[in-house]
Amino acid sequence: MNAAKKNNVKVVGKGQKPMLFAHGYGCDQNMWRYITPAFEADYKIILFDHIGFGGSDTTTYTKAHYTSLQAYAADVLDICRELELQDLVFVGHSVSAMIGVLAANMEPEWFSKLILISPSPSFINDGDYIGGFSREDIEGLLGSLDSDYLGWSNTIAPVIMGNPARPELSQELAGSFCRSNEAIAKDFAHVTFLSDNRKDLSQVKTETLILQCMDDAIAPLSVGEFTHQNIAGSRLVVLEATGHCPNLSAPEETVAAMKSFL
């Protein structure tokens, strides 16, 4: 199967330079709808769904293959090859920020810039590194997810979104979780929350922007600062936005920071 069908690839925009958007855990390409219009006049916009989410073809999924974020990075590279996305601007949210890092490290020739929105190279605290969660926290989160995925989705969505005055955003996120393929979403959660990609940061040679929200319960400021310190020459912008999804909660501020970098 070709990558475009497997990952439900959509291409829009009037420009020639490619800009690929990769969504976060439990989401799909629709989560970029407030961001992409700002770039459609000048870029070729490529949207896709990770396997198990949105309109992806779940028949291509095997648990044995998708055991690490490297497998998802390989899917990104398959899209790059199939669409010949030379000089690519990669925009990744949350776990897809690290997927982009891995893809750019594996085959840097495709990438001109990385824009990492709310990235986390590791969610688990380790010595001086503050990822935001103890291992017990993560094990408890995964246990709750495995036992009651729908209940977990409705409970965790407001925490991730971090905008209690705008409950419609949390409801949208919870709905997206619930539309996902539950079995694959459970597998992907274990890969996402147990991955440790801290050592991969120092290998990045692509020009990188890190967008960090001021108050993010999932990826605290210390995580953004660590990512910035370990990607040579990177730029860190701390948004006034709160929560983990500024692409939904603060699209204007997110677009402004992206355009300034580009």
- Pairing between β-strand 43-47 and β-strand 10-12 as defined by DSSP bridges: antiparallel
Which token pair is 119? 């990235």
Which of the following is catalytic: 118, 170, 244, 249? Answer: 244
Told to judge if 94 belongs to the known catalytic residues of this protein, a careful annotator would answer: yes
In sequence order, the 6+-apart residues with CB closer than 8 A to the CB of 211 are 115, 116, 117, 118, 237, 239, 246, 254, 257, 258
DSSP H helices, the chain, are 3-6, 69-83, 95-106, 135-147, 149-161, 167-179, 182-194, 198-201, 221-230, 246-249, 251-261
CA distances from 121 to 1, 33, 140, 171, 181 (A): 31, 26, 20, 27, 25
Told to judge if 216 belongs to the known catalytic residues of this protein, a careful annotator would answer: yes
Furthest-apart CA atoms within the chain: distance in Å:
48
Which of the following is catalytic: 23, 216, 234, 249? Answer: 216
Told to judge if 78 belongs to the known catalytic residues of this protein, a careful annotator would answer: no
- CA torsion sign for 156, 159, 162, 163 is positive
Which of the following is catalytic: 94, 170, 176, 249? Answer: 94
Q: Which residues are catalytic?
A: 94, 216, 244
